[in-house]
A and B are shown apart, each in its own frame.
Chain A
Amino acid sequence: MTAHHDHGHAGGHGHPHQPDIEDRPFEYYQVMAEAVGELLIQKGVLSADELRRAIEDLDARSPALGARVVARAWVDPGFKARLLEDANAAAAELGIDAGAIPIRAVESTAKLHHVICCTLCSCYPRLLLGMPPDWYKSRAYRSRVVREPRAVLAEFGTVIPDDVEVRVHDSTADLRYLVLPARPAGSEALREEQLAALVTRDCMIGTAVPNLHPG
């Protein structure tokens, strides 16, 4: 590569300056989080490396973990039954540490469609899906999905027929929810890994349904 991008400051810098995180004052809770982290390390409660690894582990979580769980439930009825009974233990069978907070898997069927939310804050099965999308935490989603779930789902392109019950789960307390979507018709020949590829994040929130032929 010989292309030259002039980063001198003499002029001709044609794109806007990208702000650095230090360009804004730290907010109260950022300072508090830093302070608590430093104190825990100074007092020997945990090491800097343990703290770093915990953050790295959370950041490494993604919907691919939940998708593996769903795909296994689709091909293995015994696993599905165990998943609906105790999702954390079922995930552990696949080598996935779903954490200490109980996760409740709710099964969508031809007659029942589940969708999850947290009206009070942003509760989400992070250890199976990674960090929630910004819209999940927005006041618009949190207030509207309990009030007019079908209208919200339609805005996601998900139209639920009137003869299918829509059930909203509001995680207000000590549980997290994971939607086990219905296996799409026509997927009988697919292998488990191919099935997992159909299971997107939104399918496990309930704002979408698995689609054999996306796009």
Chain B
Amino acid sequence: MPDAFSIGQPVRVRAIYPPGHVRTPHYLRGRSGVVESIAGHFANPEELAYGRDGLPRRALYRVRFRQGELWPDYAGPAADTAVVDLYEHWLEPEGLP
């Protein structure tokens, strides 16, 4: 299966709150960023945590966020950023309602 997102593409972290072992920190839910690079394809750790095989492998993206997007009251310069590793199933194209 081809990767759903490409480098440079704006994406948004899904604002969902499933229970259990998840690898997407709360502070990113619903936030918009840009795909910086594709880190590879890995067995899904959210499945591995329960003894399942985690297959098929999921694309893992390094997504860059502006700090001002994550924290509206961010005190530092506007250029400051955070880069977080996020799995494909946690991302959606930016611009969806």
Contacts and interface: CB of A to CB of B under 8 A. Distances in A.
The winner among B70, B77, B82 for most chain A CB atoms within 10 A is B82
Contacts, number: 75
A165 B80 contact: yes
A1 B82 CA distance: 58
Contacts of A150: 75-76, 80
Given A172-B84, A175-B85, A166 B25 contact: no
Interface stretch (A34-42, A73-81, A141-149): A141-149
B51 to A, nearest CB: 14
The winner among B24, B60, B71, B79 for most chain A CB atoms within 10 A is B79
Contacts of A104: 39, 62
Interface string A161-186: 01101111111111100000000000
Interface string B9-25: 00000000000000111
Contact of A173 (B27, B45, B77, B82): B45
Bin the interface of chain A by size: 20 to 34
Contacts of A151: 75
Contact of A168 (B42, B79, B82, B85): B82
A174 B59 CA distance: 11
Nearest to B27: A146
Contacts of A120: 23, 25
